[in-house]
Amino acid sequence: MKLSEIIEQDDIIPELQAEDKAGVLEELAEVICRHEPLLNKKRLVQVLMDRERLGTTGIGDGIAIPHGKIDVLKTPLLSFGRSKKGINYNAIDNKPVHLFFLLVAPENSSGLHLHILARIARLLKNNKFKKGLMEADTEEEIYKIITEADKEISL
């Protein structure tokens, strides 16, 4: 599954307002909840915070990929947010996080969930991709960077 199948331009927040982990998850969850009327934002944030308690999704190098599973979903949903100043997210390298991909998947979709996480991680290994995300000015530019880079990977 390509990322372009689960993210739209309006799922992108070019500058997060949050100042901490909970705030980031709330902002990104709000974007996700616009797509699924049965999805409760408070419940989604709780699922994401529960996942964070198992171990941080701040994978280092200024990146976090918070994720969780929710039973009301039929298909995965993805949102993206950026903080140019960086947010203390308790990442594994203890550095501020700037780039956030939030993935929410149906409860029974372990294989697909892992496949999408792997796609995101693979894209984020590319320094040009990360630099582009940091330097883009608009959600339109960020969306184009994500979808163009995603076309080029085979996974």
Q: Do residues 111 and 37 lie in contact, with contact meaning Cβ atoms separated by under 8 Å?
A: no
| Rounded-to-integer distance, Cα 152 and Cα 133, Å | 16
| Rounded-to-integer distance, Cα 78 and Cα 102, Å | 6
Q: Do residues 126 and 106 lie in contact, with contact meaning Cβ atoms separated by under 8 Å?
A: no
Which amino acid type is present at position 12? I
Which amino acid type is present at position 127? N
- Beta pairing class for 67-70 and 97-106: parallel
Catalytic residue numbers, as ranges: 67
From the list 102, 133, 87, 116, the residue with the least C-alpha distance to 33 is 102
